[in-house]
Chains A and B, each alone.
Chain A
Amino acid sequence: MTTPSPLPAIQPSQSDISVLTTRFPEKINPDSRSGYSGWVVDKTQLLAFASALRDELGYDYLSSVTAVDYLPQDQIEVVYHAYKTTGGPGIVFKVQVPRASEVEIPSLVSVYPGAELQEREAWDLFGVKFTGHPDLRRILMWEGFAGHPLRKDWHEPYFEEDAKPLKSRWPEGHPVKAESRNKYGDNIAYPDGFEPQNKTFDPEKALYDALQRNSPDELGLSTDRIILNMGPQHPSTHGVFRIAVLLDGEKVINLKPVMGYLHRNHEKIGERNTFIMNIPYTDRLDYLSSMSNNFGYALAVEKLMNVKPPERAEFIRVIMAEMTRISNHLMAIGALLNDLGAYFTPMLYSLEERELILDIFEAVAGSRMMCNYFRFGGVSRDLPEGALQKIKDLAFERLPRKMDEIERFLSENEIIRSRGIGQGVLTAENAIRFSAAGPLLRASGIPYDIRRAEPYSIYDRFEFDVAVRQNGDIYDRLMVRFEEIRQSIRIIQQAVKKMPEGPVMALKPMYQVRVPPGESYGRVEGPKGELGFYIVSNGKPNPWRYHVRAPSFINLTAFGPMCIGQKVADVVAVLGSIDIVLGEVDR
């Protein structure tokens, strides 16, 4: 093990700083808290600052928007991470406002439309009102829910204690059932004086109003429009996703994604857990690709802890992440074909290969889907005997052959071509504006891949091409995934050849890791796109803030604009081509 040098914090280049500070004197200041980086922007200058950032400095891609509730400092902070799609490090900027039951901050949707869903999330969970937001409704909880759950002083019905390990469980261990601690004996709580008998509840009204708004009748005729709800129980929505569509005949006039049906409070639970307890929870985010979720979280915490995993662990991580990408894309291709009407047969081809990859995961990590394999400073255990040979057989023999076969079946298929080519187009410009990530972005002609743009782990040592297609339609998204599988196979082939011997953990295995105070944003190129973890530590065993920048969730920002003007049957195909997983959309 070598002593690692401190990793560079996110810092814009020197020339950028001078432009920013001269333009807004006194209004922007470097964040001077220890362990923090970036800029604190005055909220009156936020819009001007963001416009300058985008138009003059080229930070055209808003990766993440989230809020942090600094209860001891009596402050709410909204944190933005912006990047350049040409590559390189990003910039962090923040807006701080005093804490109140509702705080107001100007919305950035007019500058970065990709902020739309993320700002709604911050409103829902933190009570940050974004003035100027076109459609500020609750997104994960329902309209009418009491409170903003991620506020630090908001306690859920089963609340026991602020931080784990809970005193009732450890060290003595006298657990009390959560049901017996709640006066209703159930996971519910109502405001004081609440009497359900005298109330009517209509959580849907706001949605239907939003759907009708800004949808003018082009011809000025009073034609009948139909609101169609697809989901949450619908075979094409890949889970419990709901789409509300306003239709004129078969044409989509407006479309709103409705989510939150699988909102299982990942972030609230994550802020109570100790750092290491969150790893199994990250498995359940995007449950098709648990290994790469582990990767992103491990990176973010390792940045704070300033540890570097040993060589062998890095290779194992890369191999596992790329295998995850292959299995995820196989599933995505199968599901897209399902949505196009080829009922389950292509899926069977995909699942056959996926099972072989899951076998390796089971051998390596002990579980097929929820691998829980990464640790801070390495991986939990070394590859078992024979696993490497299995990986080699897959990467050199079986997968390339099978991918040729599947691609031969699909890429020239008449139905796929006629339903895919030219449908659901997302232009390159829009893809950046809506913060689309991953295959969705690359199919629109933007060769942006974090493995290349800002290499993490040891990705700078491998030879691979960034898969990119130019048209941004459903067919291109399918073909980008094929290409990415091939590139992943290439990376695995190189990695197994170069893999060194040695330890797989840089640190001693420990029950609780010590994480110095500060913030960090770790991002990886997950199979669905840029997966980021924003973590704030205050030196205690639990993260103060734990936020997931979920690619499936943010990719849905572009879903509505892609579908407007299409036929209703294409909505299903477009959704299939975005490739969402509800565990990650709703968290």
Chain B
Amino acid sequence: MDTNEPNASGVDIPPEMQGQVAITSLDKVYNWGRSASVWPMMFGLACCAIEMICAAASRYDIARFGMEVMRPSPRQSDLMIVSGTVTKKMMPIIVRLYNQMPEPKYVLAMGACASGGGPFKEGYNVVSGVDKFVPVDVYVPGCPPTPQALLNGLMKIQEKIRGESIKGSRWYQKGGDMAEIPVPLLGPDLIDLRKAADLKTGEKV
């Protein structure tokens, strides 16, 4: 972002005060700060995690976007990069991690597996995409996506953040949809508690 960009309110600033005063909207300056300091969670699932590490290394240098601070704890992170195949055995943990992240939070599905099951979709232990359980903001295609593709996806997240408004954002609203996603259970197969009532009948849910 151009450093003059926050100063785009259309209000005339007297020449002697230019460079010292900026007039902007709260949304804009707030989102500008947020979008330039998205902290991803240090959370690698499979092959894509290696490309995520490469994106953080010297050649691709994720730090250019203010995202080099990978947090091992979900409590401190803004963005969950689901980098790899989501298995049924892992699904409860992913949901729990997502629930533990403070809002505002974003999810990036990296690669074919996280987006929809990918080459392993038919497998008995594979969830067909992380979006069956947690809401996804950006999908990055590829198997695995190159670091460039991941960076492009991250820029899409930034774009999305910049387009948000404090007034409209879900997590600043009273009575907003804050409910935690119920953590699925591991029974004879994965049990999605949101659908559990329908399981008995075996009807299409």
Contacts and interface: CB of A to CB of B under 8 A. Distances in A.
Contact of A262 (B53, B85, B143, B196): B85
B200 A144 contact: no
B54 A158 contact: no
Given A184-B204, A281-B119, A352-B57, A264 B199 contact: no
Interface stretch (B22-30, B155-163, B173-181, B183-191): B183-191
Contacts of A344: 56
A235 B120 CA distance: 25
B205 A265 contact: no
Interface stretch (A61-69, A195-203, A401-409, A460-468): A195-203
B58 A369 contact: no
A145 interface: yes
A189 interface: yes
Contacts of A165: none
Contact of B47 (A186, A196, A369): A369
Contacts of A240: 44-46, 90
B90 A183 contact: no
A284 interface: yes
Contact of A142 (B42, B89, B121): B89
Instruction: Please report whether the interface of chain A is mostly helix, strand, loop or mixed according to DSSP.
Output: loop
B122 A188 contact: no
B40 interface: no
Interface stretch (B1-9, B31-39, B124-132, B164-172): B124-132
B141 interface: no
Contacts of A272: 122
Contacts of A368: 51, 146
A351 B186 contact: no
Contacts, number: 170
B132 A265 contact: no
Contacts of A514: none
B70 to A, nearest CB: 8
Contacts of B72: 233-235
B58 A351 contact: yes
Nearest to A166: B122
A239 B189 contact: no
A146 B186 CA distance: 11
B97 A233 contact: yes
Query: In the complex, which of the residues A186, A197, A199 has the most CB atoms of chain B within 10 Å of its own CB atom?
Result: A186
A178 interface: yes
B120 A190 contact: no
A351 B190 CA distance: 38
B202 A370 contact: no
A487 to B, nearest CB: 24
Given A184-B205, A203-B186, A355-B59, A262 B132 contact: no
B128 A351 contact: no
A170 to B, nearest CB: 16
A184 B199 contact: yes
Given A195-B200, A261-B90, A268-B123, A233 B185 contact: no
A157 B185 contact: no
16 contacts: A156-B122, A184-B202, A187-B128, A190-B188, A190-B189, A197-B197, A201-B187, A263-B89, A263-B125, A264-B120, A265-B122, A272-B122, A287-B50, A344-B56, A355-B59, A369-B51
What are the 6 tightest A-B residue pairs by CB atom distance, in nearest-first order?
A: A265-B123, A146-B188, A156-B124, A287-B47, A351-B57, A264-B120
